[in-house]
């Protein structure tokens, strides 16, 4: 650089110059409504009913440029992930998923944009700005706090199987009619990949990391019996019917993250879940007779995990921006 | 079997001399011979498969049953009458409830609606929907409430699982109502309770071989006051 301004840190890394566009803090996103669900399988009341649960908090912030959002957990024991980010005009929306069903611990979302996109603080007419060589594109503005990265690296993908039980849930037949006892633990509390990082703590740390991986898995049980209205000598059994039943439990997962002291964890949280039950049975009057059928719930897509990729994570100190 | 149902001669009961067994002798038949016998059965006959008698105050209040015909193996008819001739009821399919997919249509036009309980739904498929009708005055002697029925503007009925005769007695004592059984039925309740079952269901999720015999009685409410105890006795063909 023949002229201009350049600042380096103690390690000689450039932190301000005329080519690097610094990210600057523009504020916390405004939290709106939330949606809490899936603390257990909807419509099911048997064994292994419990799920991790999740709350989706909805946030918005208005800014030009694309914001980089950091999650500052209120409860560091929970898993967090931004599962959707969209824009309408200059209003950006974030759907932030938090494990559990308590809505009383929403995280804060700290937003940063390029220096050239920050709104000019009113009444602040002193400071230092750095521009690119074109003289118009701002790379730094001291009136807004720049993003100071304290940690980060490459977050490996979480384990492919998001479920706590060993082995993938599968399909089994030969059960008795209407058999519907879930034998698979679909919670994800033990399914994560840990990354050592000294910047990770449970007091001020916040992180940015894309929730890429998705998965959906189901346990399915088929039951059967033959039922006849009655059996008589010579005539045999009459009005015999095949009675089939299918019970299925499924969960769709999204990748989520957790900060622990000295660790950044890449794991899973259930996003949606269902219990599908269908049965053909005797009906018709006084609890017995003809033939009826019942089905409830819906089945998931074919079980799979997708987008199982490593991705970058950044850790910063939220207390700088309070 | 019936007195008040039109064409009652077409409804054949177990002990009638033209019941199914009357067409056969105790010999082996070929398939063709068997089919010839079935073909000889009058088309308009309905043979009872499960016969239901409802007992109140020791007398039969109602007789009904499920009827089939060997020519129409996938067709059933569910019909009955109050023995005093006050009404006839015929059941028809009605979707909506997960388990009890029928309604009863009385001859005066009233409809008897049915709703399965949370307990029954759990027993069928671990379904967590439904209630156990806690807004009603329920006898604490009952462990499993199975269903509810109601007629709009009329009587309501709470069905429960009878696990033994003493439980039934305790229920009657709670509501200060007469027991539904007579001496003959009392003997059955004491010695062969399960023979009166409506059907068997894996109500306790213990698998085949451990299904629960659904022996059913009910409490009838009128204007939220329990008015009578009904016992549903189902019988099947016995050689």
Could you read off the pLDDT of A260-287 as tens digits, one per residue? 999 999 999 999 999 999 887 765 555 4
The minimal CB distance from B76 to the residues A180, A284, A296 is found for: A284
A64 and A182 part of one domain: no
A98 and A202 part of one domain: no
Please count the helices (runs of H) and the strands (runs of E) in chain B. Answer: 4, 13
A228 and A172 part of one domain: yes
pLDDT band at A234 (very low <50, low <70, confident <90, very high): low
Distance from A250 to chain B by nearest Cα, in Å? 15
Domain membership of residue A245 (yes or no) is: yes
The predicted model scores a pTM of 0.83
**Where a domain ends, among A97, A118, A152?**
A152
| Contact indicator for B68, B75 with CB cutoff of 8 Å | yes
- Per-residue DSSP letter, A127: S
A26-42 residue pLDDT tens: 999 999 999 999 999 99
Domain membership of residue A209 (yes or no) is: yes
Asked if pLDDT for residue B162 goes beyond 90, the answer is yes
Domain membership of residue A46 (yes or no) is: yes
Chain-centre distance for alpha carbon A125 = 42
Residue A45, chain B, CB below 8 Å: the answer is yes
A128 and A233 part of one domain: no
Q: A36: Cβ–Cβ under 8 A, 6 or more apart, which residues?
A: A53, A54, A55, A56, A101, A102, A103
A144 and A167 part of one domain: no
Domain membership of residue A168 (yes or no) is: yes
B47-73 residue pLDDT tens: 998 899 999 999 999 999 988 888 887
A47 or B25: which carries more pLDDT confidence? A47
Both tokens of A301, joined, read 């897509």
Domain membership of residue A139 (yes or no) is: yes
Domain membership of residue A1 (yes or no) is: no
Q: Do B239 and A233 touch (CB under 8 A)?
A: yes
Chain-centre distance for alpha carbon A212 = 9
**Where a domain ends, among A110, A126, A152?**
A152
Percent of chain B residues past pLDDT 90, beyond the cut: 68
Both tokens of A105, joined, read 């611990």
Asked if pLDDT for residue A2 goes beyond 60, the answer is no
CA atoms within 13 A on the CB side of B136: 28
A32 and A93 part of one domain: yes
Residue A153 CB neighbour total at 10 angstroms: 15
Q: Could you tell me which chain A residue has the CA closest to the CA of B218?
A: A286
Q: B10: Cβ–Cβ under 8 A, 6 or more apart, which residues?
A: B42, B44, B45, B46
Q: Do B102 and A284 touch (CB under 8 A)?
A: yes
A135 and A30 part of one domain: yes
A121-177 residue pLDDT tens: 788 888 899 999 888 999 999 999 999 999 999 999 999 999 999 999 999 999 988
Q: Do A229 and B76 touch (CB under 8 A)?
A: yes
pLDDT value at position A127?
A: 87
Asked if pLDDT for residue B224 goes beyond 70, the answer is yes
In terms of residue numbers, what domain contains A213? Answer: 157-319
pLDDT band at B101 (very low <50, low <70, confident <90, very high): confident
Q: Do A240 and B202 touch (CB under 8 A)?
A: no
Domain membership of residue A227 (yes or no) is: yes
Q: A72: Cβ–Cβ under 8 A, 6 or more apart, which residues?
A: A107, A108, A109, A110, A204, A205, A206, A318
Percent of chain A residues past pLDDT 90, beyond the cut: 67
CB environment A220-243: b (16+ within 10 A), e (fewer)? bbbbebebebbebebbeebbebeb
User: How far is B133 from B219, CA to CA, in rounded Å?
Assistant: 12
The minimal CB distance from B129 to the residues A43, A177, A229 is found for: A43
Chain B CB contacts of A285 below 8 Å: 64, 66, 78, 91, 102, 104
**Where a domain ends, among A134, A152, A170?**
A152
The minimal CB distance from B98 to the residues A180, A290, A296 is found for: A296
A33 and A175 part of one domain: no
Of A155-164, B17-26, B100-109, least confident by mean pLDDT is: B17-26
A201 and A278 part of one domain: yes
Both tokens of B195, joined, read 């023979």
A120 and A195 part of one domain: no
A143 and A191 part of one domain: no
What is the total residue count of chain B?
Answer: 239
Asked if pLDDT for residue A220 goes beyond 60, the answer is yes
- How far is residue B172 from each of residues B175, B181, B193, B219, measured CA to CA in Å? 5, 11, 17, 9
A134 and A247 part of one domain: no
Q: Do A284 and B66 touch (CB under 8 A)?
A: yes
Q: Do B101 and A232 touch (CB under 8 A)?
A: no
Structural domains of chain A, count: 2
Chain-centre distance for alpha carbon A93 = 16
Domain membership of residue A275 (yes or no) is: yes
């Amino acid at each position: 650089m023949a002229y201009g301004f350049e600042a380096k840190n103690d390690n000689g890394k450039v932190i301000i110059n005329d080519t690097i566009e610094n990210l600057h803090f523009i504020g916390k996103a405004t939290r709106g409504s939330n949606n809490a669900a899936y603390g257990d399988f909807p419509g099911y009341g048997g064994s292994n009913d419990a799920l991790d649960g999740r709350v989706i908090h909805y946030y918005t912030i208005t800014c030009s440029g694309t914001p980089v959002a950091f999650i500052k957990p209120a409860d560091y024991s929970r898993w967090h992930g931004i599962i959707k980010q969209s824009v309408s005009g200059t209003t950006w929306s974030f759907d932030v998923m938090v494990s559990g069903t308590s809505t009383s611990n929403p995280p804060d979302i700290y937003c940063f944009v390029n220096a050239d996109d920050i709104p000019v603080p009113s009444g602040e007419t002193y400071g230092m700005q750095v521009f690119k060589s074109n003289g118009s594109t701002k790379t730094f503005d001291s009136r807004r706090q720049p993003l100071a990265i304290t940690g980060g690296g490459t977050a490996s993908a979480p384990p492919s199987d998001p479920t706590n039980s060993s082995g993938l849930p599968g399909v089994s037949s030969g059960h008795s009619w209407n058999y519907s006892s879930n034998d698979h633990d679909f919670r994800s509390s033990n399914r994560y990949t840990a990354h050592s990082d000294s910047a990770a703590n449970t007091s001020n740390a916040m992180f940015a990391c894309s929730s890429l991986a998705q998965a959906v898995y189901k346990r399915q049980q088929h039951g059967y019996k033959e039922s006849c209205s009655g059996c008589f000598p010579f005539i045999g059994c009459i009005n015999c019917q095949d009675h089939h039943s299918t019970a299925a439990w499924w969960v769709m997962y999204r990748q989520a993250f957790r900060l622990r002291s000295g660790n950044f964890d890449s794991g899973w949280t259930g996003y949606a879940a269902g219990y599908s039950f269908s049965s053909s049975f005797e009906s018709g009057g006084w609890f017995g007779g003809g033939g009826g059928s019942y089905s409830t719930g819906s089945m998931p897509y074919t079980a799979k995990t997708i987008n199982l990729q490593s991705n970058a994570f950044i850790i910063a100190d939220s207390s700088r921006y309070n | 079997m019936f007195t008040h149902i039109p064409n009652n001669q077409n409804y054949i009961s177990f002990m009638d001399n033209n019941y199914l067994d009357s067409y056969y002798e105790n010999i082996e038949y070929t398939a063709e011979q068997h089919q010839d016998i079935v073909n000889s059965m009058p088309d308009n006959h309905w043979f009872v498969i499960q016969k239901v008698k409802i007992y109140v105050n020791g007398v039969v209040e109602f007789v009904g049953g499920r009827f089939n015909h060997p020519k129409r193996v996938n067709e059933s008819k569910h019909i009955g009458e109050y023995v005093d001739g006050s009404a006839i009821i015929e059941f028809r399919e009605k979707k909506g409830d997960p388990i009890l997919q029928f309604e009863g249509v009385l001859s005066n036009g009233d409809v008897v609606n049915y709703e399965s309980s949370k307990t029954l739904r759990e027993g069928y498929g671990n379904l967590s929907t439904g209630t156990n009708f806690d807004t009603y005055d329920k006898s604490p002697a009952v462990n499993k409430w199975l269903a509810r029925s109601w007629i709009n503007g009329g009587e309501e009925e709470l069905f429960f699982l009878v696990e033994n005769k003493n439980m039934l007695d305790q229920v009657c004592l709670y509501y200060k109502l007469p027991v539904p059984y007579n001496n003959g039925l009392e003997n059955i309740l004491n010695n062969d309770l399960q023979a009166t079952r409506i059907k068997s269901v894996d109500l306790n999720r213990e698998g085949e071989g451990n299904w629960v015999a659904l022996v059913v009685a009910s409490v009838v409410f009128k204007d939220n006051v329990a008015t009578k105890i009904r016992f549903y006795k189902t019988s099947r063909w016995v050689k």
